[in-house]
Chains A and B, each alone.
Chain A
Amino acid sequence: MKRHIVTLAFLLSTTLCAQQRREVGFVVRLTGEWVCLGNHRDLRAYERLYSGDVIAAGKNMQAGDSIQIALLAPGDESSRTEIRKCVAAGVCDKPYQVRAAADSDNWMLRVVAAAERFVQLENREDVFAATRGTLGPEEAILNGDALDFGAALGPVSPGEYTVKWTRMANGHAGEEFTSALVWSPPLAHLDLPHPPADGVYRVQLMDESGETVGAPAFVAVLRGAALQHARESFLRVQKSIAGWRAQPQPGDTAAYRSLAARALMAIDADPALTETPHE
């Protein structure tokens, strides 16, 4: 009987690093001798790890020896990999049990998250623009107070700028306001004093001395269904402009941009233009 129990215990211990369990990561790199307890398997770089595997320092470990593992479910941003190391000869971190790839939250948190989602009210705003650089409605996206219009700023040098916003109504300049902009290609961080109202804005960059930088851009601020319709309309306009001339001529780019800006204002002024044409 005792022999059977010993045999059973041995079988259980050898399954600690067995292959049937869920794969949860792998060894990225290691120096020194690291083993998987249970079957005392020596670990190697890029060896796969399974939930429940226990990693421990082997014999003759020196100061600075370490092992780094990558987890498939790393959890938060700060714990993407787990590292064990030895601070002195034979003095190493305690054995590490590779955790299972479980969700970081519990059942109650999920219920709360689901309930929150059910009653959550969002007020997302989006922007699309067309002028500098490559034409396209994806040039600028406003998410909360972060406006990403890096593509439109392509030709402008990185740095800190002031953005002058001028509301355009029927082609005429209206209300103005300014905001700070940090242009760190390819991202543009914009500090808006308040969410802009729907409409088309003429956006001009100014440097520290107040000099204008580059050409003005036109940005349309739209929300919800209006954004979707305007986006589709603008895509159609773009496509028409792109197919305007088989052989591009000098000066076409400026003409394209002028047309795109006028189209943007036309779409803003007359929502009927956003209706999908019937075939």
Chain B
Amino acid sequence: MRRYVLRRVAAFVATLFAVSLLVFVVVRVLPGDPALLIMGTQGSPEATARLRHAMGLDRPLLVQYVDWLGRALRGDLGVSIQYDLPVSRLIVSRLPVTLPLALLAALFMTLTALPFGLYAATRRGRAGDYLTMIVSQLGIAVPSFWSGLLLILLFSVRLGWVPSGGFEGWSQGLGPALQSLLLPALALGFFQAAVLIRATRSAVLEVLGEDYVRTARAKGLSERRVIGRHTFRNAMIPVLTVTGVQLGQLIAGSIVLESVFALPGLGRLALGAIAARDLPVVQGVTLFMASAIIAINFVVDLAYTFLDPRIRYE
């Protein structure tokens, strides 16, 4: 067991290295010239060249990579050209938006998917099953920039219950902060629940077909007892893994929604940095997001192993 865990950790570290290499290679291949971008159409060529040198963009690539990686491992991801702040500090400052958003969305997703998935499984093959699946498909068929806007128009403009965008910060209290995150979390979690509904449904169906469930039924236990006590917990294992994977997708999905809701999160940071050719930020944020997604997958992987004693990878 311990050897297995160690091997997984080694694999995780190797993957992170692969990610860093991918990020660096792709980002450095960008033909846009960050010095030119800062200067814009009105800067002189000499001023631009000077800025390029000051930013260290004229050194050989391998040197730049090793230098960057070494510093990244120490937590130094460079300094943002736009904000003149350390990239790591920028990333950390955006986490209080993106992380709670993703978690809240995951919560909504789970709260929606579990009951609906369970319901669909118990009504398998009948109208309830089809209806659930079709409605959930319609949910993901609405692109998030539309579901976001529609939610704003209804709950913010028409009803005035929540702000239409922006983020005051957690210092103003739990209430206002959650209000700002409510609609985007709904757009992310509620509308996109289809995948998790389907996973819940299959997991429950799978378990319902197991011998011990048949035994429980044969023993004369009520349907409620069968599902509640015997089915649910075991069905949760595959559902947990899907949720874990979806969390990574949610972090990515927040990129679009942070634009719609003008939230100062990681997604907005990444978009702005790519447009402004703020290389240190692009590298830092991409590395962070990819690593976070992989870390989540890793944790879920391990959790799955511990939870389900039947699974062991060779």
Q: Do A and B bind each other?
A: no
